[in-house]
Structure 1
Amino acid sequence: MDEGLFGKAAQERAVADVETEMARLCELLAEGLPLGLGEGREMVGGAMSEFLVEFFETVRDKGSRPGVKGMVTLPLLVHAAETGDPPGPARVIAVIHLLWWAAARHLDDLTDAPGAPSPGGAAAGAKVLAALAVGSHLPARLIADLPVTGGVRAALGDELSRGWLDAVDGQLRDLTGPAPAATPASVLRGYEGKTGAPYAMAAASAACLAGADRPRVDGWRSFGRALGVLRQLVNDQRDLASGRHEDLANGTATYLLVHLLTSLPAARRREALALHAAARHSRSAQAELTAWMLDGEVVASYADSVAPLVARAHGLLDTLGGEPGCLRELHGLLDETTGRMPGFRLAVA
């Protein structure tokens, strides 16, 4: 196989192809032509189109382009790793993955983002309906229109449903898990759902589409989940580094915060928890607690605790095997992700 297919330039072309597919989908929706539903649905189609345009504008404004690239390239590389062929057929899985995140990010913002529309208002209600259509029912239509066997179509539908249920479970854990009661293990369990589940869905769906058997689909699902957890750890760090401090304002028990809490003696732990409570409304408390979390010794021990998660993800890839060029790129995707974690390079150097 031409190794150039899996180089950085080829990946950029693949991302551009998927973005073109998304733009075409938006145009169809704006014209009131949801796939497989016929004409005359201007309201739902237009709402979904506007929703997706807003999502990509937000991605651009927040500098999330590298994250979108990872969302797209994961299923393409998994499919090609299984088949040894160009990953074009998996573009639909990449589109579904993006649709999932467009819906999930908005639903997440409605629960905790500053300045979000009032949950009881008409604007919020319209966005919730559009999110449900974009994240669940539009992907179902895309799957229904695929030229595949009934068995493959059923397997893809199962992965979509599984991904949503696992992600909702993780998000509920995130919303209801108070920092004083959280443990590193409980936080990671939530991460396996809220961010691990959609990546698991994308990887497993690509393997299904490639004709992989059940054990290999299960293996790719595990790898996707592991990658998603690592990406959530990066998101936590980006929130601190950007100064947005959305997690602190929401009272979220992130892995880095809980790691800090478990490393402190009782008196200092109580002080940190008081800061965490104040940080929901105080910028100064946010800044002080951030300094605690990004202290050199805390970051170094945090990186040590994350290293086994990274090693496990690489080990899953080595066990799965597949087309060598794809596996190298997938290992590279892991390295690119972990390279953005605080202190990780220092810890593994």
Structure 2
Amino acid sequence: MNDVVDYTQDALRTHVRPLLRLAVAEDCHLGDVTTETILAGLHHQKSDAKSVTAVQTTSSPVTEETTHKDLSKQARAELIAEEELVFCGEFWFRETFAYAPTLSSRDTTQDNEITFFKNEGDRVAKGEKIATIVTQAKTLLTYERIALNGVQHFSGIATLTASYVNVLNETSTLITDTRKTTPGYRLLEKYAVHIGGGSNHRFSLSDAFLIKDNHINLVGDIKKAVTIVLTARSKNTALASLPLVIECSSLHELKELISIGFSKSQSQLSEYTSEHTDGANPLINPLTLHSEDYVLLDNFNHQDLTQALKMIENRMRVEVSGGIGLADMSRLRTLSFYIDRISIGALTHSVKAADISMDITF
């Protein structure tokens, strides 16, 4: 539904930084007491040892430069896949270690040496190395969990999406996400769906008309709800280009929808009206359904779905949704010729995090 989405690194960074500010505020707003205490203790032990040596040799005690060196101890970490997965989250990993430390006065400016061995969308085998990072030990220990939370979450979405997409291999049916996303994370989660081979449904309520059961209940019946929207779309140029999706939860509702009738496509209608200002053409009726409009068949069983597809007869696009799991995909594949897309809320609302570890050495 959204053909042009800005998934550049700059766009992702713009969305990541506010989320990292929240993550740092909730995870270490008063610092990482364990890491800081242990590093301070390590420094004091070294200071005591050096002080004894200084007395014995009448040399100078520990300098400020030595102290800074102790607290800036370097460490190396490897990002490892603990299961087969589709990787997604380089943008989050890099930005965590580049940006998060700048939010705290307790951290020093530093250079991170990060190397990725896998690209976004790569399938990674269990045990394979995804990336390495060399930076201050304090930085790794403090921001490890924030980095992993993002990488595991986005890789989980990409991996699950790829599992659905693979079932429909060599068909034209798309797997799409929904608006059932984590508040604030929508663009990033939809990016992960994209990386997994899926397509993006509308990003917001402004992107398309989607008449659902509650809208139908609000006005009384599906025919009335659709007619109201079609009328508005035909009269308001700001709405004219918006696609229309109509949710049907029964064969009865579908029959009511079909009774509205079908016309030429929206693009054909636009071409005609631009050439004929009177708009008088009995073959083109803006108050009927167009081939670019979608009917959303929600929670149909296999028998009713098969009948519904015959009723539609390819006169408009078809979206299938409603509690669809991987176990349902083989059955839906047999009907994929008649289905344009399958929308799956589970891609984002209840996805299992990918098992990825970060092994740190000092």
TM-score category by the smaller chain? under 0.3
Using the size of structure 2 for normalisation, the TM-score is 0.25
TM-score, normalised by the number of residues in structure 1: 0.26
Q: Which one has more relative contact order, counting CA pairs under 8 Å at least 6 apart?
A: 2
Structure that is richer in strand per residue: 2
1 or 2, which has the higher helix percentage?
1
> Greater CA radius of gyration, 1 or 2?
2
